[in-house]
Structure 1
Amino acid sequence: MESDKQGAPHSPAKPTWLKRVEEESWQAELIISGAAIIGTLQLPGLLDQLEVFLLLYQDSEALGLWRLVFLYLRLVTAALIFTFIFHFIVRALWIGMVGLNSVFPGGFRPNKRFSEDFQAKMRENYGNIDAYILRLDGLASGIFGTGFAAASLFFNFGIVFSAVVILIGLLRNFGGYSRWITVGILILALAYFVMAIIVSVLHIEKLRERAWVKRIHFPITRIMYRLQFPINSRFTVTALNILSYQVADRKGYWFYAVGMGVGVAILGTVADQAFSSNARYFYESTFFYEAQDSTLIRRAAYEEENYEGVHYGPVLPSKYVDTTELFSVWVPLPERELVLYRERCAESQKGSEGDKPTQEAADFLDCLASEIRLSINGTTVRGASFNTEYLATATAKQHGVRIHLKDPPLNRGKNLLAVGTPSDYRKATDGLRMSYVVFFAH
């Protein structure tokens, strides 16, 4: 009976050294937690850099898949940061209380300043300092383990989705990709989801004791664990089951399960927005409308502003233009648009002679000139010259094209430059994404 109360009736007695390690684990926890706080606070910046790379070198379809991957990676980051900071605070409280208890072992010292009734109630509610210290110790260790379990869970999900996205990318690069592959992956994902539901249903009391259920239930579950958690599987499965078993017999078990799912969704949304300045640009709708406000003076639209982020619209050297100088504008060429340029340019250059890289680059610039639409104050600009140019900011070195306009139709004072680039977004007019830059000529 005693072993039943402890919750581990089939576990062998713990060796003395393991008990001592468990009792003194706070030392290792503090060292790891302190160092990890510094390390994990660097993770959002590293993920930002990886997001920028993907935004510049992946097309729209791939970005839609990578968005899901980064949702889980942001969850890992948030879980680790929250875990280490919260654990450090709780463990610091524990150390403080242990120190006070060692200096003042008597706890609340009887005195004549306060009434005996008040002192008795204080001792009754706050006097069991040893129990409070043990509770803080258990809370700190529990936070440490739970945080790592959550991080391992989200990390594995991120790895699985990353593998799928990379596989699709490789198939596309080598010409073996079709939309049927995506459909097939979605069917497999749906089949896995159905299997997960079946495994859960087999836990129902009316089914779980049947012989055929006993034969297949655990083997199927174990296979699913392997698929779900390819990395650090033993720790992840053990930790998650330890946590779920604590509330398994409670009446509100499903309430806990649903609450955890809702909590993860909220944490993911908050982590995605709080730790990432690039998350919204993975969505084609955000990218499409980024520079479409023709009344807004955007800091990112002028090189003189030393903008440090990623450029998603055309950039002028300055918001003030000298009419006596050559007018130029730089237009970014992210992969999500380059894919469309290549498709259209491939059709227009089928009969082009010469296969040297120089000739190919020249042909591509000619195609860009035919695809990009330019206008100033509503007047179409023609006869512009195009040159490839990389524009560097503190965040990235972006591939783009520098366009020089000869005799542009400028007005003294306020002017509006409109740049149309190819887009397959459903709301694109005439297959173009329009971007605007306000500038002033003098």
Structure 2
Amino acid sequence: MEKDKNKSFTKWLEILQQESWQLELLISGFAIFLLAESYEPVHNLDYQIDLLLSGSPYYGLLYIPYQVLLGAWYVLIINLILHVLLRGLWISTIGLRYVSGDIDFNKLNISPKFDRFLRSKIVSFDLYIQQLEKLCSAVFGFTFLIIFILISGGLFVVGLVILAMTMEGINTRFGDLWVLVIVPFLLLYLLGGFIYFLDFITLGWIKRKKRIARFYYPIYRFFSVITLAFIYRPIYYNLLDNKFGRSIVLFLIPYLIGFTLIASLTVNTHAYLPGNRTLQSISNNFYDDTLEDRTSYSASISSKFVKNGYAQLFLPYVARNDDKVIEAICPDLKPAKTGFFFFGNDDPLRNNMNADMALDCHVQRFKIYVNDTLINNLKYRFHEHPARKNIGLLTVLDVGDLPRGEHAIKVDVQILQNNNGKDTLFFRETALIPFWKE
């Protein structure tokens, strides 16, 4: 009874295998459509992470899954488009075979030299169709294998970052001596990861060496769990048991290296453009109506052309840098808790915080100049920038008395610097924004 079930299941798999090209095309077409539609949301995640990063550097850990997601997006859309093209070629060859059958070289009437060459390279049209079928299925499976490998690599890096952050936290709290306890774990983690990766790219070379295999076994089991390799392990070993599959796995490394190099490729066509030209340039990020980089933390005004005599100035609040300054300026202002809160349950301290006092503490961080003249008695308000989506201060400068032409707004920001173990507050110029009075 059990044998009949196994035979029935095997037969069903064989039928499904023969008809799998329909499912492949359906999934590829649907996935390409979804990937094209998700281009903007996926790339906008970078900005959302950057907003969180402005509050705390620990949110930088989110860049690891973001980079994995971005890499998976590019791998999927490139490989699936390639798969659809190859499947289209495969379907066209089947249709052509129905019309004209196999290749009859005798009817081509070509010279003997070309005849021998073509006969050696094109054994039969049926074999060509079979090779195309195998290649299409391999590309489809290869695509998802790469995605899971990217996820595994991301999880390995997450583990490495967590160990590094733990080491930094121990160093801050207990001193350098306790770091010596974590450093060996960090080195063992890196060494074990390298050995595991070496075994992967050499198609299990270490596992075939009986003398070292037993020592490698716990390393293999540990990193299999850490990287979730057990999810794609059947695909990997299914490829290794035949020559064609092994060549696909060996192609992984040059594929990923080539993919990385192409993604990082830049072209420079300007021979006389200096790299350091900040003071001689004008940035679109200084003006809200030409804003290009929403992740910019620079101060900005509404437009480079002031028509009504008023210039609206936005000063962003970057918590990871500014909180320490505010704490030094206003030690009596108790900060609220930061982090994630479920169902909108925020910290009561935030609701009980004196808004006027908090605003005054923020204002003390800035000195605003127009053409080197310090502007006093400005009215500030908290403001969420409509394009950047980050919170800061908004003030309006009366520049109606200025003559027509070019002028500049200079923003000095108070920063905290540690000098010989002592924190010192001082002002530093962070933005010089030119504008034109009409």
Task: Name the TM-score class by shorter chain.
Answer: 0.7 to 0.9
1:287 alignment partner in structure 2: none
Deviation at 1:142, TM superposition (A): 0.7
Alpha-carbon contact 2:324-2:416 (below 8 Å) kept: no
State the one-letter code of the partner of 1:332: P
1:226 alignment partner in structure 2: 225
Which whole-Å CA distance do the structure 2 matches of 1:432 and 1:168 have between them?
Answer: 32
Unaligned runs of 5+ in 2: 1-6, 267-275, 336-348, 419-424
1:326 maps to which of 300, 303, 310: 310
State the one-letter code of the partner of 2:46: E
Does residue 29 of structure 1 match 2:20? Answer: no
Which whole-Å CA distance do the structure 2 matches of 1:408 and 1:167 have between them?
Answer: 57
State the one-letter code of the partner of 1:41: A
Alpha-carbon contact 1:312-1:332 (below 8 Å) kept: yes
1:192 alignment partner in structure 2: 189
Deviation at 1:403, TM superposition (A): 1.8
State the one-letter code of the partner of 1:302: Y
State the one-letter code of the partner of 2:217: F
Deviation at 1:435, TM superposition (A): 2.1
Does residue 50 of structure 1 match 2:45? Answer: yes
Closer, same or farther in 2 for the Cα pair 1:73/1:247, shift >3 Å? farther
Does residue 363 of structure 1 match 2:370? Answer: no
Deviation at 1:292, TM superposition (A): 8.8
Closer, same or farther in 2 for the Cα pair 1:246/1:423, shift >3 Å? farther
Does residue 15 of structure 1 match 2:10? Answer: yes
State the one-letter code of the partner of 2:278: D
Deviation at 1:155, TM superposition (A): 2.2
1:282 alignment partner in structure 2: none
TM alignment of 1:11-410, pairs within 5 A: 15-59=10-54, 61-62=57-58, 64-108=60-104, 111=107, 122-126=118-122, 128-159=124-155, 188-197=185-194, 208-210=209-211, 213-229=212-228, 233-243=229-239, 260-261=252-253, 263-268=255-260, 270-271=262-263, 293-305=278-290, 309-322=294-307, 325-333=309-317, 337-351=318-332, 357=351, 360-393=354-387, 396-405=388-397, 410=402
Using the aligned pairs only, state the percent identity: 21
Which whole-Å CA distance do the structure 2 matches of 1:353 and 1:425 have between them?
Answer: 22
Closer, same or farther in 2 for the Cα pair 1:88/1:339, shift >3 Å? same
State the one-letter code of the partner of 2:329: S
Q: TM-score, normalised by structure 1?
A: 0.72
Alpha-carbon contact 1:72-1:154 (below 8 Å) kept: yes
State the one-letter code of the partner of 2:370: I
Which whole-Å CA distance do the structure 1 matches of 2:37 and 2:417 have between them?
Answer: 35
Deviation at 1:387, TM superposition (A): 0.6
2:271 alignment partner in structure 1: none
Which region of structure 1 is more displaced relative to structure 2, 62-71 or 361-370? 62-71
Which region of structure 1 is more displaced relative to structure 2, 37-46 or 346-355? 346-355
Which whole-Å CA distance do the structure 2 matches of 1:80 and 1:245 have between them?
Answer: 25
State the one-letter code of the partner of 2:363: A
* CA root-mean-square deviation: 4.5
Deviation by residue 1:169-227 (Cα, 9 ceiling, x = unmatched): 9x9xxxx99757997887644322222445658977899333xx454433441232111
2:405 alignment partner in structure 1: 413
Deviation at 1:31, TM superposition (A): 0.9
Deviation at 1:412, TM superposition (A): 3.2
Unaligned runs of 5+ in 1: 1-11, 275-290
What secondary structure is seen at the aligned counterpart in 1 of 2:394?
A: strand
Q: TM-score, normalised by structure 2?
A: 0.72
What secondary structure is seen at the aligned counterpart in 2 of 1:45?
A: helix
Aligned residues: 392
State the one-letter code of the partner of 2:128: Y
Deviation at 1:84, TM superposition (A): 0.7
Alpha-carbon contact 1:71-1:268 (below 8 Å) kept: no
Alpha-carbon contact 1:73-1:158 (below 8 Å) kept: no
Alpha-carbon contact 1:54-1:63 (below 8 Å) kept: yes
Closer, same or farther in 2 for the Cα pair 1:356/1:325, shift >3 Å? same
Deviation by residue 1:57-116 (Cα, 9 ceiling, x = unmatched): 224633554444433322222221122111111111111111101121143475487668
Which whole-Å CA distance do the structure 1 matches of 2:16 and 2:283 have between them?
Answer: 58
1:440 alignment partner in structure 2: 436
Alpha-carbon contact 2:288-2:301 (below 8 Å) kept: yes
Q: Which has the higher contact order (CA 8 A, sep 6+)?
A: 1
Closer, same or farther in 2 for the Cα pair 1:389/1:112, shift >3 Å? closer
Closer, same or farther in 2 for the Cα pair 1:222/1:45, shift >3 Å? same
